[in-house]
Amino acid sequence: MRVTVVGAGVVGTMHAWQAVQRGHEVVQIEREAEARGASLRNFGLIWVSGRAGGEELETALRARELWEEIGGRVPALGFRANGSLTLLRTDLERAVAEAALARPDAAARGYKLLTAAEARAVNPALRGSFEGALYCERDAAVEPRTAQVALREALSKSPNYTFLPGREVREVTGPGTVRDDHGDVHHADAVVLCTGAWLGGLVKELAPDLPVRRVRLQMMQTDPLGEALPASVADADSFRYYPAYGGEALDRLGDGQPQAPTAAAHRMQLLMVQRADGGLTIGDTHEYEHPFAFDTVEDPYDHLTEVVEGFLGRPLPRIRRRWAGVYAQCTDTGRVVHRQQVREGVWLVTGPGGRGMTCSPAIAETTANELGW
């Protein structure tokens, strides 16, 4: 088959990977010189721990398998099965963790409840104040700023793969056929639009009632920590944002332990992962109301710094970068991604939200299976 993939973010690149691995001829078109959206502006976390039970968890677990498999073939992805620790400071937070351990799918996630001493044995850099941790063995990480480039370099070794950067697809001109802004027409058996948070233009024309919204977040990265942070780290505010933790224990946490004002105002959680160079990627916030601000604000960064320094028991290294990103998220509850045929031979795949980096290999595999690749 001939396949055209529009978009070179992680979802698009995983679709190209699936198609090439199945022996098809692939043209991948990207409007920028390189992908610059949410695929780069994230933690690089393969985050199984908080996923909703059922389809979402199954997708995340399958994606985790695929990430490890692809990482073995493409070492530059920086895949590492590092696990995660959600640090607990109060009895109400511990109760949410204990409820998670009682889930029927707890073993599949690799949940364990650790004492503070056991958590420090996993992550010796955590010398600050906390009472225990929920450990998730199945969580992992890759390097988000280089993963797509590494995948594309691997794809480029195949004679069946062509990458066309700096082109924007403007029009569907027929079954499986699109025209770009250079005037070139690309014929294929299947076109997959993986345009991320770009929901205007052609996407809006093809799918005007798309059940997808855009979400903005702020993050930062430090200079090297100077020591290893072997497992990724979250705080208990993350319980409030991941569906796996819903229930009576979370309701009691919400009633009895409100978030700090800054965290509540910016819908915040702490997620932290160490990069290959030793620096820490730290975030994040959630902004849903349009139009989004064009600038970043300092209060969330101050809050995150305070929380992290409390867990590390030491000052953070110098902040090297701050940034904002926007991703597309399904508004249909329970859907992992929005996958829709928008014209004959043309499919739109968008809206994985904060699940994009985690689930992209399995999302692409499902698309390939459903389209009969």
Q: What is the CATH number of the domain that holds 373?
A: 3.50.50.60
HSE (side-chain half, CA atoms, 13 Å) at 157: 9
What type of residue is 167? R
Q: Which domain holds residue 205?
A: 1-80+140-211+334-373
The whole-number average pLDDT for the span 15-34 is: 97
Tell me: do 22 and 151 sit in the same domain.
yes
pLDDT of residue 239: 98
DSSP secondary structure, 308-348, as one string = HHHHHTSPPPPEEEEEEEEEEEE-STT-S-EEEEEETTEEE
Tell me: do 169 and 206 sit in the same domain.
yes
Tell me: do 7 and 123 sit in the same domain.
no
Tell me: do 41 and 98 sit in the same domain.
no
Query: What CATH number is associated with residue 252?
Result: 3.30.9.10
Asked if pLDDT for residue 192 goes beyond 90, the answer is yes
Total domains present in the chain: 2
Asked if pLDDT for residue 256 goes beyond 90, the answer is yes
Asked if pLDDT for residue 7 goes beyond 80, the answer is yes
Asked if pLDDT for residue 61 goes beyond 80, the answer is yes
Bigger pLDDT: 39 or 286? 286
Show the tokens assigned to 305. Answer: 């710094």
Tell me: do 298 and 152 sit in the same domain.
no
pLDDT of residue 258: 95
Q: How far apart are CA 72 and CA 81, in angstroms?
A: 12
Per-chain mean pLDDT for the chain: 97
Of 365, 364, 371, the residue nearest 345 (C-alpha)? 371
Tell me: do 197 and 207 sit in the same domain.
yes
The whole-number average pLDDT for the span 188-215 is: 96
Q: How far apart are CA 304 and CA 116, in angstroms?
A: 21
Confidence of residue 324 (pLDDT cuts 50, 70, 90): very high
Tell me: do 33 and 49 sit in the same domain.
yes
The whole-number average pLDDT for the span 53-80 is: 97
Tell me: do 45 and 173 sit in the same domain.
yes
Tell me: do 54 and 128 sit in the same domain.
no
Asked if pLDDT for residue 259 goes beyond 90, the answer is yes
User: Per mean pLDDT, which range of 33-47, 101-115, 130-144 is the poorest?
Assistant: 33-47
Asked if pLDDT for residue 333 goes beyond 90, the answer is no
The whole-number average pLDDT for the span 13-17 is: 98
Whether residue 210 contacts residue 227, with contact meaning beta carbons closer than 8 Å, is answered with no
Place of tokens 């929920």: 134
Confidence of residue 36 (pLDDT cuts 50, 70, 90): confident
Query: Which of 313, 330, 347 is the C-terminal boundary of a domain?
Result: 330
The whole-number average pLDDT for the span 361-368 is: 98
pLDDT of residue 180: 98
User: Per mean pLDDT, which range of 29-38, 170-179, 301-310, 320-329 is the poorest?
Assistant: 29-38
The whole-number average pLDDT for the span 40-47 is: 95
Tell me: do 276 and 184 sit in the same domain.
no
Q: Is 313 left (phi over 0), alpha (psi -120 to 50) or beta?
A: left
Tell me: do 38 and 63 sit in the same domain.
yes
For residue 287, the 8-state DSSP code is B
Asked if pLDDT for residue 13 goes beyond 80, the answer is yes
Confidence of residue 35 (pLDDT cuts 50, 70, 90): confident
Confidence of residue 361 (pLDDT cuts 50, 70, 90): very high
Q: Strands, E, within 181-246: which ranges?
A: 185-187, 190-193, 212-222, 232-235
pLDDT per position as a tens digit, 80-94: 999 999 999 999 999
Share of the chain above pLDDT 90, in %: 96
3-state secondary structure 337-368: CEEEEEECCEEEEECEHHHHHHHHHHHHHHHH
Tell me: do 170 and 312 sit in the same domain.
no
Share of the chain above pLDDT 70, in %: 100
